[in-house]
Amino acid sequence: MATSLGTATRRLAVAGALALVLIGVSSPPAFAAEAGVNLREPNAQQLTYVKELGSHWVRLFVNWPDFEPARGVFAPAQLSYYEQILAGLPAGSKVIADVVNTPAWESGSGDPHAPPHPVDYAAFVHVLAQRWAGRVAAWEIWNEEDAPRWWTGAPDPAAYVALLQAAYPAVKSVDPQATVVLGGLTGNDFEFLQGVYEAGGKGYFDAVGVHTDTACDVLSPYDFLRGVDGRMIDDSFLAYREVHATMLANGDDKPIWMTEMSWRTTTAVCSEGTFAGQKPEGVTPAEQAEYLAQAYHCMAQDPYVQVALWFPLQDEATLSNGLVRTNGSRKPAFGAMRSYVTKGDQLTEPCGVFTGPQISVLSPANNVRYSGPLPIHVVARSSQGVFRITLKIDGKLIRNYGGGTYPSTLSGFLEWQGAKHIPLGRHTLTVLAYDQERNVSQTTLTIVHSTASSSAGHKAKSGHARKKHRSRRRRVRSRHKVP
């Protein structure tokens, strides 16, 4: 059956490509992330939206307590409902099944987010993977297991690795072609991923899932912030590149699947996270569409991001992230998704700025010799806004300039009295400039601390030489004077 399904899928792909050529529409670039949507509570109407979008992937949540209400007892109605959804998807659709939550009979508590026993969880996944082999392309092992909201007691990389080690062979033993996805990390939590590697998780997943639909995110995908270690913070959209860097550092080159991405469309004030009550919760519908296109534009430049799914397809009571409103009307982002699916990435602009501000040192000059206070005047410019200018002498801090206003031009001036107290001789003055995203640029110059007497002697000697030169020039002119 798997062979015939593969043949059918290939035929559909060829036919689809031919159809696109015939109507003059190009397919997405070869390495662009394949698009898809999340269906939280799938129904027949949502399947029509999926068909209209023409997207390749669909992600479904498999709530374990609903499927197995008692040990070894499966709910026929729940199985039938999901199998109807699978059958109703457009031909060639690829499905990710995300298996979440723990039944009370298994955990001994009423907490659905209590960590499951790996053997029981794997046994459940094994039954479904065998039943749905060929219909489900990928199995995602839990959801945001790095967050206490979804895994009680998180973060606990070692406990999660035990789940991976049980679930991976449970899937592969009945459907070797299925992809096992490390459960979508909250943001781009590369630190938790590092913990997974340290706990022995390497080799027990085929792709790393990440979620970039972070709370109250109103920034463009191009915008990011760096931490004190210079790495992008995990809430930044582009920090999936830090996830990839972590994988490579551990000798792993698996793909990344962004199983959740989105921006909310609401005028409400943020009610969660660090900035609760201090910033907007969402963006305008037009901005949502713009950010969708920008997100796929960025991922198109990173071929290791293979799949990216919007979360969710349709708004719900408290969720405004959807491409479709609760009344069924399409947001502009629906059209943006449809455009990407049919035409591919159409943007050509840079994806983010990764160079620091331009630095101009007005004083001192390089290799200047001085004996007293040293005037220092520097200017930094950036289209991203300048966050800070830092002055250092021989690696030690002199002064910082800047604040939270992020001007496009920031100036720093100092009549540095400390220059009188550093040892005589050559020293390195370093100027660093940071933009709002903590990109940094640097320039260095040499200053030479001389004694006042040597400087004066140098000036006197120079003056004496100039007088001798002028006297010699007068004698030469007098010898050549015409009588």
For Cα atoms 472, 474, 478, give the angle at the middle one, nearest 5 degrees. 120
Return d(Cα 110, Cα 220) in angstroms, integer.
Answer: 39
Return d(Cα 203, Cα 191) in angstroms, integer.
Answer: 18
Q: Which residues make Cβ contacts (< 8 Å) with residue 395, sequence separation at least 6?
A: 428, 430
Give the pLDDT confidence score for residue 453 in this predicted structure: 55
Asked if residue 439 lies in contact with residue 226, where contact means CB atoms within 8 angstroms, the answer is yes
Give the pLDDT confidence score for residue 3 in this predicted structure: 34
Pairing, β 425-435 against β 409-416 = unpaired
H helix or E strand, kind and range, residue 379 = strand 374-381
For residue 152, what are its two tokens? 């009680």
Give the pLDDT confidence score for residue 31 in this predicted structure: 59
411-to-75, 180, 274 alpha-carbon distances in Å: 68, 53, 31
Q: Which residues make Cβ contacts (< 8 Å) with residue 82, sequence separation at least 6?
A: 60, 62
Give the residue carrying structure tokens 């459960």. Answer: 183
Asked if residue 167 lies in contact with residue 122, where contact means CB atoms within 8 angstroms, the answer is yes
- SS3 assignment for 167-213: HHHHHHCCCCCCEEEEEEEEECCHHHHHHHHHCCCCCCCCEEEEECC
Return d(Cα 133, Cα 129) in angstroms, integer.
Answer: 5
Give the pLDDT confidence score for residue 456 in this predicted structure: 42
Return d(Cα 338, Cα 116) in angstroms, integer.
Answer: 39
Give the pLDDT confidence score for residue 335 in this predicted structure: 98
Give the pLDDT confidence score for residue 480 in this predicted structure: 39
The helix/strand/coil state of 7 is helix
Asked if residue 312 lies in contact with residue 322, where contact means CB atoms within 8 angstroms, the answer is yes
The helix/strand/coil state of 255 is coil
- How many residues are there in the chain? 483
The helix/strand/coil state of 443 is strand
Give the pLDDT confidence score for residue 479 in this predicted structure: 39
Q: Identify the bridge partners of residue 138 per DSSP, sorted by sequence position.
A: 96, 179
Give the pLDDT confidence score for residue 455 in this predicted structure: 46
Residue 372 CA, chain-centre distance (Å), reads 49
Give the pLDDT confidence score for residue 483 in this predicted structure: 33
The helix/strand/coil state of 482 is coil
Which amino acid, 98? D
Q: For 8, which DSSP code?
A: H
Pairing, β 305-310 against β 34-39 = parallel
Q: Which residues make Cβ contacts (< 8 Å) with residue 245, sequence separation at least 6?
A: 190, 231
Return d(Cα 203, Cα 341) in angstroms, integer.
Answer: 32
State the 10-residue block means of pLDDT for the chain, 483 residues long. 35 35 40 92 95 97 98 97 97 97 97 98 98 98 98 98 98 98 98 98 98 95 93 97 98 98 96 86 98 98 97 94 97 98 96 96 98 97 96 98 92 97 97 95 98 51 43 42 35
Asked if residue 126 lies in contact with residue 171, where contact means CB atoms within 8 angstroms, the answer is yes
25-to-17, 93, 300 alpha-carbon distances in Å: 9, 20, 18
